[in-house]
Amino acid sequence: MRHTTDPADHYARAVKLWRQTGEPDAQSASYAEADRLLPSGREPEHGGSSKRAANWVAALHRYEDYARTHGRNPRENTRDRATLPGDERRLGEWARYQRRFPDTLTSYQKIRLDVSPAFDWDPLERVWQAQLAACLRHLRDHGRLPYLNGSERAEFTLARWLRRQLRQLQTGTLRKDRAILLTHLLDLAAGMGETPSL
């Protein structure tokens, strides 16, 4: 999670960035106004676009609140759909919709999503980066990469992830930017006398 969890702080950061763009359009202004008012329990007084803005901001606040309360973002899907509560699924689908149709968002909406501690434009990339960072921490803390036969479940899970990445690196199917980062990790490990195996 990034920064604070207070919606008023998110609003203040977003509106400051939005004003700096030099594009304070009226449609964005209605979303900014809704974002300012909703944390205090008030809604914009106009109809139409203001109501749409209030609904969007309310959904964003619910999404952020879910992430803060549960320590993770709402899931959009799961292998066993019956285990995915409807409220969580709807919040996850709301976020997916924002990512799929960014061209329909106002400049304020895009900026507000950027400053959100919960929203990610590319959640899979965020997870990949977090796993790589966990491998770096493990290397730093233990002087070695995580082992598949590690006695700790967290280490075993991390080692399984690393093994999949190493296979993709070996077969040339790992994205180039990820290959560079993974190679850097391997170079650090080699500098500590560690030789990972597949």
Tell me the domain boundaries of the chain. Answer: 7-115, 123-191
**What was the pLDDT predicted at 2?**
46
> What's the rounded Cα separation, in Å, for the pair 116 and 1?
9
pTM of the model: 0.73
pLDDT for the residue numbered 83? 81
Cα separation, 124 vs 131, in Å, equals 11
- The one-character DSSP state at 152 is S
Q: What is the predicted pLDDT for the residue at 24?
A: 72
Distance separating alpha carbons of residues 39 and 26, to the nearest angstrom? 21
Residue 96 has a pLDDT of 93
Per-residue pLDDT of the chain (198 residues; tens, 9 = 90+): 444 567 889 999 999 999 998 877 888 999 999 999 887 767 666 655 688 999 999 999 999 999 999 998 898 777 777 788 889 999 999 999 999 999 999 999 999 999 999 999 998 898 999 999 999 999 999 999 998 876 788 899 999 999 999 999 999 999 999 999 999 999 999 988 766 655
Cβ(146)–Cβ(159) below 8 Å: yes
Residues in the chain: 198
Distance between CA atoms of 120 and 128, rounded to whole angstroms? 13
Q: Count other C-beta atoms under 10 Å from residue 82's C-beta.
A: 6
What's the confidence (pLDDT) of residue 3? 42
pLDDT given at position 46: 61
For 102, 179, 195, the CA distances from 173, given in Å and listed in that order, are 28, 9, 21
d(CA 54, CA 33): 9
Determine which helix (DSSP H) or strand (DSSP E) holds 183, and give its type and residue range: helix 176-191
SS3 163: helix
Write down the pLDDT at residue 88. Answer: 92
